Amino acid sequence: MADSPLKIAVDRAWTVHRATHEDIDASDSRRCSLERYLFGKADAGESDPEELTCHGLAYLARLKPDEY
């Protein structure tokens, strides 16, 4: 996954999410949930890192603590 659109999107979405939610640790399990979600989007054919990032941020915004 080294500089793939998926890795770029996961890193960007997670960085933005953590910047706006200071109480979230870098190793929080929501990152794994984000990776799985965006992997599904990429597997379905989405390859634009910016689109994937937007999908990831929207996903994190609606994720409840008991869903990850």
In this predicted structure, what is the pLDDT of residue 58? 97
Q: Please, which pLDDT band fits residue 59 given cuts at 50, 70 and 90?
A: very high
pLDDT higher than 80, residue 66: no
Cβ-contact 24, 30 below 8 angstroms:
yes
Cβ-contact 15, 28 below 8 angstroms:
no
pTM of the model: 0.88
**Location of structure tokens 């939610």:** 21
pLDDT digits (tens, 9 = 90+) for 21-52: 989 999 999 999 999 999 999 999 999 999 99
Name the DSSP letter for residue 22: T
Segments making up each domain of the chain, as ranges: 5-20+28-67
Rounded-to-10 torsion of CA 39, 23, 61, 64? 90
